[in-house]
């Protein structure tokens, strides 16, 4: 993922240099309407932050292995000011994590769980942009989202004793990011890099206790980074 982000940074830098040299303004009236719309595509590398609490299991350790997932969605943008926009970006965010329970030494119990997550991602984003420089415009953004996890298994009566690691269905997250608007001939291309962070605890504790899988967990929440490519 680091290599991909490095290549993305080089790509954005080259576009920035080209945009700064360009004197002819493209889409000069793009930012004047009160509303505009678009869509986005992206990839994510989301894992979990895990913190622990005292339990019957000393030296609990859960290693999180994440995989590359995807993001896709729509954009509705409301101009509040020349440099401030309020955006609603509903979409889907999906990936898979593998949890390795390194403190489990019992050969009869499985030490790994694969946790799939497909979120209906409903973020409300405040975007703060600089003044336009030729055909580019850097920005920062931040906001909060409600995320509905279709893969949570929260209502499943089976827990880890039956092979199911459960998470919560309803979640709240915040995200921050930086990016650049590039005004092209027919549309605006806006790549950004964002971080997403869960606010609530996403673990659904096992029905029985003691549980080697969930008893040691005090907090388990999504932490990740994603590349967001917007077309407006």
Tens of pLDDT along 1-30? Answer: 545 544 555 455 555 555 555 567 898 889
Q: Nearest to residue 51, comparing CAs of 210, 201, 206?
A: 201
Within-domain flag for 192: yes
Contact 104/80 with Cβ under 8 angstroms?
no
Please give the model's pTM, rounded to 2 decimal places: 0.84
Q: Which domain holds residue 174?
A: 2-22+35-58+69-93+117-231
Q: Is 76 helix (H, G, I), strand (E, B) or coil?
A: strand
Rounded to an integer, the average pLDDT of 100-127 is 87
pLDDT tens per residue across span 118-158: 999 999 999 999 999 989 999 999 999 999 999 898 988 89
Q: What's the CATH code of the domain at 124?
A: 2.40.160.20
d(CA 227, CA 180): 12
* Number of domain units in the chain: 1
Within-domain flag for 8: yes
10, HSE (Cβ side, Cα atoms, 13 Å) = 5
Within-domain flag for 107: no
Within-domain flag for 225: yes
Within-domain flag for 204: yes
Within-domain flag for 185: yes
Within-domain flag for 49: yes
User: Rounded to 5 degrees, what are φ and ψ at 186?
Assistant: -120, -10
């Amino acid at each position: 993922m680091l290599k991909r982000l490095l290549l993305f940074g080089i790509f954005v830098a080259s576009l920035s240099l080209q945009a700064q040299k360009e004197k002819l303004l493209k889409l000069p009236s793009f930012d004047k309407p009160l509303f505009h719309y678009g869509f986005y595509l992206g990839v994510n590398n989301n894992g979990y932050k895990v913190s622990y609490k005292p339990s019957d299991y000393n030296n609990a350790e859960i290693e999180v292995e994440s995989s590359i997932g995807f993001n896709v969605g729509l954009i509705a943008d409301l101009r509040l000011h020349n440099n401030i926009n309020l955006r609603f970006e509903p979409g889907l965010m999906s990936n898979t994590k593998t949890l390795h329970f390194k403190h489990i030494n019992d050969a009869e119990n499985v030490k790994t769980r694969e946790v799939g997550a497909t979120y209906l991602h409903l973020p409300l984003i405040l975007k703060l942009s600089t003044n336009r420089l030729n055909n580019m415009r850097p920005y920062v953004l931040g906001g909060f989202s409600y995320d509905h996890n279709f893969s949570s298994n929260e209502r499943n009566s089976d827990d880890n004793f039956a092979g199911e690691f459960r998470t919560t269905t309803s979640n709240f997250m915040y995200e921050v990011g930086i990016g650049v608007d590039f005004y092209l001939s027919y549309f605006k291309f806006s790549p950004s890099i964002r971080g997403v962070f869960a606010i609530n605890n996403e673990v659904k504790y096992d029905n029985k206790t003691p549980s080697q899988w969930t008893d040691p967990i005090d907090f388990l929440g999504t932490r990740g980074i994603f590349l967001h490519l917007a077309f407006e």
